[in-house]
Structure 1
Amino acid sequence: MSRTASGRAWLAELPALIAEFRDRWSLRLGPPIHGGSCSWVAPAALPDGGSAVLKLTWPHREAAGEAAGLRTWGGNGAVHLLAADERRHALLVERCVPGTELGEDGRHSPDARLAAAAELLNGLWSAPPPAAGLEQLAAVTREWATLVEQRMARLRPDYDPGLVAIGVDLLRTLPRSATREVVVHGDFNPGNVLASERRPWLAIDPKPMVGDPGYDPWPLLTQLDEPFEHDDPAPVLAHRYALVADAVGEDPRRLLAWSVARTVESALWFAAMGEVADGAEEMAQAAALAELAGL
């Protein structure tokens, strides 16, 4: 964020923003919670003694629909939205206590955690999409497909061009073959699912869009318990994709195809950031996922 002029300007304004929303919503703020790259987040005590989280976000495209998504879900699978100033990118949301991340939970097996996360997805996907306020997933992934092609041509990383082409094609075609449209979370990784009191787990920090539900599970399935670090990841991945696909009513091959598409896009993003070796690791994962999918 500090690399850009808009990011530096927002950081300079941040102390005043914190004071503005502390006073507007009559909050007593605790020390900020670290870990976010585009936002300032702190626990807050409400005037009635309840607890919440104040989130102030650097204005950027992916964050624009967060309030609309949370409002649509109404607490079913995600934290409640308590107040929002969308013009100023300020949110007051339900606080998750104890707040343990799904990926850090040592009480339950990976299968149990995947099943719990799938239950959250079912809740998120059950809400009718709003008439306005959220981007269409198909439009976003078409843009990504073009961007992947441009980055591949400009940067010429030593990535498998055939696999990149498969990823590009999937980014364009998968949304068109969806059998239903839902409000996707958009960033459903194990760090964005927290242990809570109201429900065992709740999702936070969405980047919601309207489109194919098969888009959502990729970061959950590939980051929980680091399946690619197993000596033979193929059977681990096949089992987990089958488990989650069955729980959410989707075809495991479709979840795998989305994972290939998103991993290829991620690889070219790393390359564009100058991190070509990290992109190569992503491409190796994409190849393994493509083999499982029969692509």
Structure 2
Amino acid sequence: MTEPEVTEVLVPPTLGVVASIGDLAEGRDWLDSLPGLIAELREGWALRLGAPWTGGSCSWVAPAELPDGRPAVLKISWPHPEMMGEAAALRVWHAHGAVTLHAHDGVRHALLLERADPGTTLGDSDGLPAEERLLIAAGLLNRLWSAPVADPGGFDLLSHVTARWAGLIEQRMARLRPGFDPGLVALGARLLRELPTTAARRVLVHGDVNPGNILAARREPWLVIDPKPMVGDPGYDPWKLVEQIDDPFRHPNPAAVLRRRFALFGQVTGEDPARLAAWAAARRVEDSLWWVSRGNPPSHRAMAEAAILASIAGL
């Protein structure tokens, strides 16, 4: 193991955010239990552990070494709905385009994972042009979406999740009165209800595929990590990649950049670029209302971006 073994349990300060999410007492109880969980897993899986990586807000993640010397990663998550399907999704993908799942402890909400080396994120690969990085991501998504799911009932349905979001959009708009275009907000809510029901196919979507969740590796050039899986329309997945590979709205002609990016995803995956833009518009509206619900000032820029996306979708 390149990192020195750490015997004292370290908890990054960023993990303190779990005490402010959901039930405060549950978050504090989990943080209090974390040193014991780490010790039990270290012993049970016979691991050597390095110092945890910082930056995570809902999981304790550290480099590990397996008994046979192979590098690995130990991830212990604060139990919340979005993380519950991670192990099952990694089993479905069976290390094809995603990191290998070595072991899973469902009681302790712990995963023992393949370590991607060197682990550079797709977002930090500055030597690659944005469109080339998007093509890499689209190829990975195509592989993930192609995996057969023996038990779709073991995952949340995207249609149920986005229908709930649509209801929250309407409630937040009425309660918070942020001054957003009511027609655009209504469109976002309608799309979240309708898009999942009109999909040509249903697949296991990653749910949070962004440039930080695609890592450079040796077994394959790139591997995805950290899924928040759901079963539903594959068109849901690409938006965070399109938005975060760089900021398309800072280009002189953002609509042209966005059309090109959605077209690239369409060429690789066979998905309709207009549907990808519609999903992006819906998610931008949902993000905007979520942002205001957290006590932040309304972002009229974000809603203007949603309008651009809706126009690209022909809506």
User: Shorter-normalised TM-score: what interval?
Assistant: over 0.9
Provide the C-alpha distance between the structure 2 equivalents of 1:280 and 1:54, rounded to a whole number of angstroms.
Answer: 41
Alignment counterpart, residue 76 of structure 1, candidates 96, 121, 124? 96
> What are the equivalent positions in structure 2 for 1:157-176 lying under 5 Å apart?
157-176=178-197
Instruction: Show the counterpart of 1:266.
Output: 287
Instruction: Show the counterpart of 1:92.
Output: 112
Provide the C-alpha distance between the structure 2 equivalents of 1:282 and 1:5, rounded to a whole number of angstroms.
Answer: 34
123-132 or 209-218: bigger deviation: 123-132
Instruction: Show the counterpart of 2:6.
Output: none
The one-character-per-residue Cα deviations of 1:211-265 (angstroms, maximum 9, x if unpaired) are 1000000100111122112122111111111111111110000000111111111
Deviation for aligned residue 1:5:
2.3
Instruction: Show the counterpart of 2:225.
Output: 204
Matched letter for residue 205 of structure 1: D
Tell me if structure 2 keeps the 8 A contact 1:129–1:210: no
> What are the equivalent positions in structure 2 for 1:1-295 lying under 5 Å apart?
1-3=18-20, 4-131=24-151, 132-277=153-298, 279-295=299-315
The one-character-per-residue Cα deviations of 1:164-204 (angstroms, maximum 9, x if unpaired) are 10000000000110111100000011111111111111110
Deviation for aligned residue 1:159:
1.4
Question: TM-score of the superposition, structure 1-length normalised?
Answer: 0.97
Matched letter for residue 230 of structure 1: H
Unaligned runs of 5+ in 2: 1-17
**Structure 1 267/24 Cα, relative in aligned 2: closer, same or farther at 3 Å?**
same
Deviation for aligned residue 1:33:
1.1
Unaligned runs of 5+ in 1: none
Q: Could you list the runs of 4 or more consecutive aligned residues of structure 1 that deviate by over 2 angstroms after TM superposition?
A: 279-282
Provide the C-alpha distance between the structure 2 equivalents of 1:246 and 1:5, rounded to a whole number of angstroms.
Answer: 48
Matched letter for residue 114 of structure 2: E
The one-character-per-residue Cα deviations of 1:87-115 (angstroms, maximum 9, x if unpaired) are 32111111111111111102211111111
How many residue pairs were aligned?
Answer: 294
Which SS does the other structure have where 1:56 is aligned?
strand
Provide the C-alpha distance between the structure 1 equivalents of 2:95 and 2:276, rounded to a whole number of angstroms.
Answer: 25
Which SS does the other structure have where 1:2 is aligned?
helix
Provide the C-alpha distance between the structure 2 equivalents of 1:150 and 1:203, rounded to a whole number of angstroms.
Answer: 35
186-195 or 152-161: bigger deviation: 152-161
247-256 or 8-17: bigger deviation: 8-17
Matched letter for residue 200 of structure 2: T
Deviation for aligned residue 1:2:
2.0
The one-character-per-residue Cα deviations of 1:53-84 (angstroms, maximum 9, x if unpaired) are 11010110111111111111101111111100
Provide the C-alpha distance between the structure 1 equivalents of 2:222 and 2:154, rounded to a whole number of angstroms.
Answer: 26
Matched letter for residue 19 of structure 2: S
Which SS does the other structure have where 1:97 is aligned?
coil
Deviation for aligned residue 1:133:
2.0
Which SS does the other structure have where 1:276 is aligned?
coil
Larger Rg: 2
Q: Percent same amino acid among aligned pairs?
A: 59
Matched letter for residue 179 of structure 1: A
Deviation for aligned residue 1:121:
0.2
**Structure 1 5/282 Cα, relative in aligned 2: closer, same or farther at 3 Å?**
farther
